[in-house]
Chain A
Amino acid sequence: MSLVDRARSATTLAGGLGTILDSGLPAPAPAGHTLVPAGHPGQPLAHPLAGWEGLALVRAERVSCPEAVRLLAAVRIGLTERMLRAAVEHLTGRVADGRPLVDHPVLRGELADLTATLALCWQGLGTGTSTAALHATLDRAGWATSVLFGASGYLRDHPVRCLYLAELVHDTWSDHVGLA
């Protein structure tokens, strides 16, 4: 399995980041601190949420690594696909207006749109879509997926929180240049 395939098939955010960093790439830290799997070398700094997903904020040498940021998109695609499958199960078990939520045409359309978006992102990883554009799309798709769980997905202990933490990892890994 290629590295990008392995990144996509990670079942946890920390596992996905571990796959990237174990390949020998440095943890990107353009601002001098970065979110990494707990236990990764570096002086730990306080972060209110990192521990929720087995991550830690560490001080690190200022370094950029576009390839790691690209692979992070693969991790995010895989995690969002996983959460989307869980959302289908969730919507199958809830009823509104006399039928399961999963049978409401609006929600079916949403599931199809999200699946198409993720498929396009995955192809885009191979065809050179800019990493910034991929992550911007994944920010939106991740939140749209979380919303499918209703308020239950907004609870701290819900697995879909990994998609928000992935946004935070991207915030520390990416250079965010050219956006003003």
Chain B
Amino acid sequence: MSDWREIGRALRAGALALDAAPHDTEAIAADEALRAVAELDPIMLSGKDSAAALIELARGDAGMVLAAPGPALAGRVLAQLGDDEQRERLRAAVAGGRTWAYLAITEPDVGSDATRLRTELRRDTDGRYRLYGTKRYIGNGHRGTVGVVLARTGPSPLALRAVLLDTARARTRPLDMLGLRGAQISELEFDGVPVEERDLLGAHLSPLRRGMWSIAQVFTAVRVQVAALAVGTAFAIHDLVADHHPSSPTLDDAHANIRAAEALVLRAAAEADHDRESAAPAASLAKLTATGVALDVARTLPRLLGPAALVTHPLLEKWCRDVRAFEFMEGTSQIQRLHAAQGIVRGSVWHAT
């Protein structure tokens, strides 16, 4: 744990430079702290350990965490849906921080409702699969040379398959964001990119578990990780303000709230490790609360430092932009409310004990 905290501290040094120039891949490749983050292997660590590590790393800077080369969210998908050979392919592709991996689900016209995805995996007349469509807002999509793409295989809303792309390339372009610029969200265009049988994820699973069901399990796991990034960023804001302001009830309350959100996130992560299917509402509640607490902290604490605090402390201003990104990643708060409510109605959500 303290190791992750140390790495988090080291990450902070490059945070503002990355925010100013997120496209400078050479600077990213040269950053030693970023290389250390690349060792966070989601296939090897439990969800709870990953969440705990991400909180400490994001306490340094979440933008840097997301700029780190490595398996990232694609690793979570492979852990759920990949066979041994596919996991090895991803591991080999990103080994030693060689490249970034992306997970491409969102499209220009389809975000929250993944069952309406349009990107198509078509079998052409030569019997080969090809990928057609456009993905947008994909973290590390432009820098990455390996990734997982979710595509439609038929007209039914649930006819979706994930494919691993490690050689075929899409046309890509980075998108300039307000905050969390280290994640470098991008647009990817697939115009008949060939896909081999061995690229299709989930072939070793029953047909019912290959597509949307498994993706939903991945969402549960990843939501908790995004919640962990939000908690870490809230701690970062708190720490910086506390360094410049004497103890006060506002600061103490904020700290207690962040710790409460942290406890919810770690608890949801442990539940997801134990039984991912039943942990979905808990994961949504964790993300909802963590995002809300982080936004609140970003809104209230800088004021303690007096006028123009966001000019005097550029990192604080950056984190106030960054926390907003967590609202969208892996489902907006409205979507988390819908999931959580479903669990409440079914009676499967734990209550405070």
A interface residue numbers (CB < 8 A to B):
30-34, 47-48, 57, 94-97, 106-107, 136, 139-140, 143, 146-147, 150-151, 154-157, 161, 164, 168, 171-176, 179-180
Q: Which A residues are CB-close (under 8 A) to B334?
A: 106-107
Chain A contact surface mostly:
mixed
Q: Which A residues are CB-close (under 8 A) to B314?
A: 48
Determine if A155 and B176 form an interchain contact, defined as CB atoms under 8 angstroms apart: yes
Determine if B307 and A174 form an interchain contact, defined as CB atoms under 8 angstroms apart: yes
Given the interface contacts A96-B112, A154-B177, A157-B176, does A176 sit within 8 Å of B328 by beta carbon?
no
In the complex, besides A150-B328, A151-B111, A175-B307, 10 extra interface pairs with C-beta distance below 8 angstroms are A48-B19, A150-B111, A150-B112, A151-B137, A155-B175, A164-B321, A171-B311, A173-B307, A176-B303, A180-B304
Q: Which A residues are CB-close (under 8 A) to B321?
A: 164
Q: Which A residues are CB-close (under 8 A) to B299?
A: 136, 139-140
CB-nearest residue of chain B to A95: B116
Determine if A180 and B250 form an interchain contact, defined as CB atoms under 8 angstroms apart: yes
Determine if A96 and B113 form an interchain contact, defined as CB atoms under 8 angstroms apart: yes
CB-nearest residue of chain A to B185: A151
Determine if B311 and A47 form an interchain contact, defined as CB atoms under 8 angstroms apart: yes
Determine if A176 and B178 form an interchain contact, defined as CB atoms under 8 angstroms apart: no
Min Cβ gap A50→B in Å is: 10
Out of B177, B310, B333, name the residue touching A168 (CB < 8 Å). B310
Given the interface contacts A161-B178, A171-B302, does A151 sit within 8 Å of B328 by beta carbon?
yes
Interface residue? B184 (CB, 8 A) = no
Out of A143, A155, A176, name the residue touching B177 (CB < 8 Å). A155
Q: Which A residues are CB-close (under 8 A) to B307?
A: 30-31, 171-176
Which of A33, A96, A168 lies at the interface centre, i.e. has the most chain B CB atoms within 10 A of its CB? Answer: A96
CB-nearest residue of chain B to A136: B299
Q: Which B residues are CB-close (under 8 A) to A155?
A: 175-178
CB-nearest residue of chain B to A47: B311
Min Cβ gap B176→A in Å is: 4
Interface residue? B325 (CB, 8 A) = yes
Determine if A31 and B179 form an interchain contact, defined as CB atoms under 8 angstroms apart: no
Q: Which B residues are CB-close (under 8 A) to A176?
A: 303, 306-307, 309
Interface residue? B324 (CB, 8 A) = yes
Given the interface contacts A48-B314, A107-B334, A143-B295, does A154 sit within 8 Å of B308 by beta carbon?
no
Please, what's the 1-or-0 string for B314-353, where 1 marks a CB less than 8 Å from any CB in chain A?
1001000100110110001110011000000000000000
Number of residues of chain B lying within 8 A (CB) of chain A: 44
Determine if A179 and B311 form an interchain contact, defined as CB atoms under 8 angstroms apart: no
Q: Which A residues are CB-close (under 8 A) to B338?
A: 106
Q: Which B residues are CB-close (under 8 A) to A30?
A: 306-308
Determine if A48 and B178 form an interchain contact, defined as CB atoms under 8 angstroms apart: no
Interface residue? B109 (CB, 8 A) = yes
Min Cβ gap B293→A in Å is: 14
Interface residue? B20 (CB, 8 A) = yes
Q: Which A residues are CB-close (under 8 A) to B137?
A: 151
CB-nearest residue of chain B to A28: B307
Min Cβ gap A149→B in Å is: 10
Q: Which A residues are CB-close (under 8 A) to B309?
A: 171, 176
Q: Which A residues are CB-close (under 8 A) to B136?
A: 151
Q: Which A residues are CB-close (under 8 A) to B325?
A: 154
Distance of A156 Cα from B22 Cα, bound (Å): 13
Q: Which A residues are CB-close (under 8 A) to B19?
A: 48
Min Cβ gap A107→B in Å is: 7
Given the interface contacts A96-B112, A140-B299, A154-B328, does A31 sit within 8 Å of B178 by beta carbon?
no
Given the interface contacts A96-B116, A107-B334, A164-B321, does A156 sit within 8 Å of B248 by beta carbon?
no
Min Cβ gap A166→B in Å is: 12
Determine if B303 and A147 form an interchain contact, defined as CB atoms under 8 angstroms apart: no
Distance of A81 Cα from B245 Cα, bound (Å): 36
Q: Which B residues are CB-close (under 8 A) to A156?
A: 176-178
